[in-house]
Amino acid sequence: MPFQDAPPFTSSGSTELADAWWTAFNDPLLDERVDRALRENFTLAAAWERLRQADAIARRARSDRSIDLDGTAGFGRTERDDGADDTTRFSLGLEASYEVDLWGRIGSAIEAERLRAVASEADYKAAALTLSGEVATNWYTLVVARLQVQLIRSQLETNEKVLEVLERRFAVGQSGSADVLRQRQLVESTREQIMIAESLVEVLGHQQAILEGRAPQQEFAYPGSSLPRVPAAPSTGLPAELLRRRPDVIRAMYSLRAADEDVAVAVADTYPRIDLSASISTAAENPSALFSDWIANIAADAVMPILDGGERAAEVERARAEREELLADYAQTVLDAFGEVEIALSREREQSRRLSSLEAQLELARETYTQLRTQYLNGAADFIDVLTTLREQQQIERDLLDARLSLITFRIGLYRALAGGFETPREAGGVSEDLTNGEESRG
């Protein structure tokens, strides 16, 4: 396997990551949104019902190890055409059957379904983890979209004030008409940016409502007006530890183990099978005489496959191929898990550098704009230079907000890559204890 003896991750923090990873942002509003989504989201609810189905299938499979006992009751009436009296007959009986698990076929089938149920449980936890990440990402994107609206409105006020100055200077012949027109175009462009940002806020609000299981047309309580500070970097731990806690890796592992049991079932099905049966019955023409005479029967049947056209051999080959497929899927899932951690670490590292660069650029742009504006008012610079610098400054301000969002998004990606499963409100009631009781006893 390519992940055997995997080296440590390229970097690591020292902060221990909680199961409820989003609490690391210390943001009560985010906590409320995630908690609601975990309770009300319909996609997660569907995943829970799939888990319940898998649990029921596992419990149904265990019934194959028990004796099947059926009760029978009958009533019949015979009408005679020869003048003799009609006859009535009543019957009662019990029938029992049991398959002797000579080669472990039943035990392997039971274990396969139990393992698939455990895999389904891990799949549910993976769905909950994915949902929590989607909620957090959408929530902070919504926060930034509202901050962008506020920022662009502030920029619009600045641009309108500059336009007022230019119009006054134009009125007294100190500025050209082209300068006024350029500034008016910037004002209109800024208004357009406000409309785009407001539209994004509305769309993100609808998406947030859907994630939380609410109708998108309902009124939405919008978030606060600030982004949280990025917490201290979490400890990545060792790659082997990651494999033990990631729910998608756990799901792939248990699916692979279930496939191993399926191979055992297919092989055992090529061997003879012994079925035991027993019955006891009574019959009489009068109900009061039903229990006076009993007939008992005990039988043992051996079933040995002789000719099946290659059906059982083909099933063995299919089961083995499926196991190899799931083995490859497991290996790929492990590599993807390692890759998500490394990619998130790399993105966050480079985004921190980009943020520092943007902050430096913004400071320089503001200084440049202030100097050029003063020079223009003194007749020592062209307005086109002032306008270009103003555009650049305002664009950097918007880029800086987006960059801060990206840094938070990359941290969310790192948390998701490192996180394990966490208990959701639905799991408080639990599912079948046999899913977490270790290996099923083999009879």
Give all domains of the chain, ordered by start, each with its CATH number.
Answer: 21-76+90-430 (1.20.1600.10)
Alpha carbons 435 and 52: distance in angstroms, whole number? 11
Q: What is the pLDDT of residue 396?
A: 96
* The pair of three-digit structure tokens given for residue 174, joined into one six-digit string: 């100190």
Phi, psi at 275, each rounded to 5°: -110, 130
CB atoms within 10 A of CB 166: 24
Q: What is the pLDDT of residue 173?
A: 81
Please say whether the beta carbons of 384 and 408 come within 8 A.
Answer: no
Phi, psi at 367, each rounded to 5°: -65, -40
Find tokens 């704009």 and name the residue: 369
Q: What is the pLDDT of residue 443?
A: 39
Q: What is the pLDDT of residue 357?
A: 96
C-alpha torsion 434→44→16→433, nearest 10:
-10
Q: What is the pLDDT of residue 349?
A: 94
Q: What is the pLDDT of residue 442?
A: 43
pTM: 0.86
Q: Which helix (H) or strand (E) is 44 found in, with range?
A: helix 42-62
Please say whether the beta carbons of 256 and 239 come within 8 A.
Answer: no
Taken in order 239, 241, 247, 250, is the CA torsion positive or negative? positive
Q: 390 CB contacts (<8 Å, ≥6 apart)?
A: 158, 159, 162, 186, 369
Q: What is the pLDDT of residue 440?
A: 43
Q: What is the pLDDT of residue 54?
A: 93
Dump strand ranges (E) for 108-162: none
Q: What is the pLDDT of residue 90?
A: 79
Q: Report the 3 state secondary structure along the chain.
A: CCCCCCCCCCCCCCECCCCCHHHHHCCHHHHHHHHHHHHHCHHHHHHHHHHHHHHHHHHHHHHHHCCEEEEEEEEEEECCCCCCCCEEEEEEEEEEEEEECCCCHHHHHHHHHHHHHHHHHHHHHHHHHHHHHHHHHHHHHHHHHHHHHHHHHHHHHHHHHHHHHHHHHHHCCCCCHHHHHHHHHHHHHHHHHHHHHHHHHHHHHHHHHHHCCCCCCCCCCCCCCCCCCCCCCECCCCHHHHHHHCHHHHHHHHHHHHHHHHHHHHHHCCCCEEEEEEEEEEEECCHHHHHHCCEEEEEEEEECCCCCCCHHHHHHHHHHHHHHHHHHHHHHHHHHHHHHHHHHHHHHHHHHHHHHHHHHHHHHHHHHHHHHHHHHHCCCCCHHHHHHHHHHHHHHHHHHHHHHHHHHHHHHHHHHHHCCCCCCHHHHCCCCHHHCCCCCCCC
CB atoms within 10 A of CB 180: 17
Please say whether the beta carbons of 279 and 94 come within 8 A.
Answer: yes
Q: What is the pLDDT of residue 275?
A: 85
Low-confidence ranges of the chain (pLDDT < 70): 1-4, 79-86, 220-224, 285, 288-290, 429-443
Q: What is the pLDDT of residue 435?
A: 56
